[in-house]
């Protein structure tokens, strides 16, 4: 049986959150009632605070991206559960600036509801609030999926570019417009060869036969509509890219790509995936303007990966992407 070295349910997330805060005390401050993190430093030019959050279990998302050039506050929920609206409200009040607060929200029902309630409370306090909804997962792009595309790996790219724009003094309306434009031009898809381990039972939440892959898996361990036999990496990545590009359509600029580990995929595996993806993009005549490779949006210990492609439709986005940032999990792009 797989083993997750997490505190028992009776202790909740408190030890893990305290550990993160102590490990990164130069970057973050932890509030424990209600639970939220704030960045210790931010640009004095910033007029609008950036707040995100969601269920725990996706580390380093979101708290790993707190700091100058990225987020101001993060509300972490229980494992794979939305933060309570009080957490979002208090986190937002703690960092609100004269120009208001921007909520960056992944497209999940609980997150939308709780961020929405918090936004109503903030507006009642006289604080302007905007929202950017990240919805990049092509596996849930279907007329049969009432909720639409889930928010997954693209969240990191959106947060980085919006963070840079905020540090240049963009106002709330400008940030919402930029975030919506980014969310419209980015898509992801994920696969897994082994499911994650439940924090409650210690068991894998589903089983796959040897040699099978779950194609289109979610970052909460959701099973996909398709289980397929693994053939080879190049063929698999080609299929994933086909699905991403079918949703995006033709690109109007160079591509910003993310190869993201889902928890237990090794760096060696992720670089092999990136090589296969880069070759596929080369074959299609699509230039890679920049890339990230690593585990940035995990699903506990799931063995799998996702690919994300952002069509950099506006050349000004590149300058924002390459702007400096300082956060526990941030690393500079490789080109």
How far is 13 from 204, CA to CA, in rounded Å? 20
For the question of residue 200 being annotated catalytic, the response is no
How far is 136 from 19, CA to CA, in rounded Å? 31
Omega of the bond leading into 51 within 30 degrees of 0 (cis) = no
The pLDDT tens digits of the residues spanning 175-223 come to: 999 999 999 999 999 999 999 999 888 899 999 999 999 999 999 999 9
Paired with 294 in beta bridges are 260
Identify the pLDDT of residue 8: 67
For the question of residue 303 being annotated catalytic, the response is no
Q: What is the 3-state secondary structure (H, E, C) of 241-272?
A: HHHHHHHHCCCCCCEEEEEEECECCCHHHHHH
Catalytic annotation, pick one of 24, 27, 58, 84: 58
How far is 101 from 172, CA to CA, in rounded Å? 7
Catalytic annotation, pick one of 24, 84, 103, 220: 220
Q: Which domains does the chain have, with CATH numbers?
A: 9-184 (3.40.50.10440), 186-322 (3.30.1180.20)
**DSSP 8-state symbol, 170:** -
The pLDDT tens digits of the residues spanning 294-331 come to: 999 999 999 999 999 999 999 999 999 999 999 999 98
Task: Please give the structure tokens belonging to residue 322.
Answer: 């390459």
How far is 249 from 309, CA to CA, in rounded Å? 11
What is the mean pLDDT of the segment spanning 111-129?
A: 98
133 and 105 in contact (C-beta within 8 Å)?
yes
pTM, to two decimals? 0.96
Task: Please give the structure tokens belonging to residue 203.
Answer: 């068991």
């Amino acid at each position: 049986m797989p083993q997750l070295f997490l505190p028992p349910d009776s202790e909740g997330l408190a030890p893990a959150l305290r550990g993160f805060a102590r490990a990164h005390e130069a970057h973050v401050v932890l509030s424990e009632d209600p639970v939220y993190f704030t960045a210790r430093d931010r640009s004095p030019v910033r007029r609008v605070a950036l707040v995100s959050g969601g269920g725990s279990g996706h580390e380093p998302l979101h708290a790993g991206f707190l700091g100058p050039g990225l987020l101001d506050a993060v509300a972490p929920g229980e494992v794979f559960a939305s933060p309570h609206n009080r957490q979002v409200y208090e986190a937002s009040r703690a960092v609100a600036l004269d120009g208001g607060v921007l909520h960056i929200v992944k497209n999940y029902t609980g997150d939308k509801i709780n961020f929405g309630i918090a936004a109503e409370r903030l507006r009642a306090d006289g604080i302007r609030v905007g929202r950017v909804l990240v919805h990049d997962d092509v596996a849930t792009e279907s007329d049969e999926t009432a909720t639409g595309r889930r928010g997954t790996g693209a969240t990191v790219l959106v947060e980085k570019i919006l963070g840079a724009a905020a540090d240049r003094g963009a106002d709330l309306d400008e940030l919402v417009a930029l975030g919506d434009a980014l969310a419209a031009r980015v898509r992801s898809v994920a696969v897994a060869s082994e499911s994650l381990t439940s924090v409650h039972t210690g068991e894998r939440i589903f089983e796959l036969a040897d040699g099978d892959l779950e194609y289109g898996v979610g970052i909460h361990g959701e099973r996909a509509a398709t289980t397929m036999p693994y053939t080879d990496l190049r063929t698999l990545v080609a299929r994933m890219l086909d699905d991403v590009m079918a949703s995006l359509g033709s690109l109007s600029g160079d591509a910003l790509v993310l190869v993201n580990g889902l928890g237990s995929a090794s760096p060696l595996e992720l670089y092999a995936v990136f090589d296969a993806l880069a070759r596929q993009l080369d074959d299609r005549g699509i230039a890679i303007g920049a890339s990230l490779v690593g585990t940035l949006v995990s699903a506990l210990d799931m063995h799998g990966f996702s690919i994300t492609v952002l069509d950099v439709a506006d050349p000004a986005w590149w300058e924002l992407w390459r702007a400096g940032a300082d956060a526990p999990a941030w690393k500079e792009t490789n080109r």
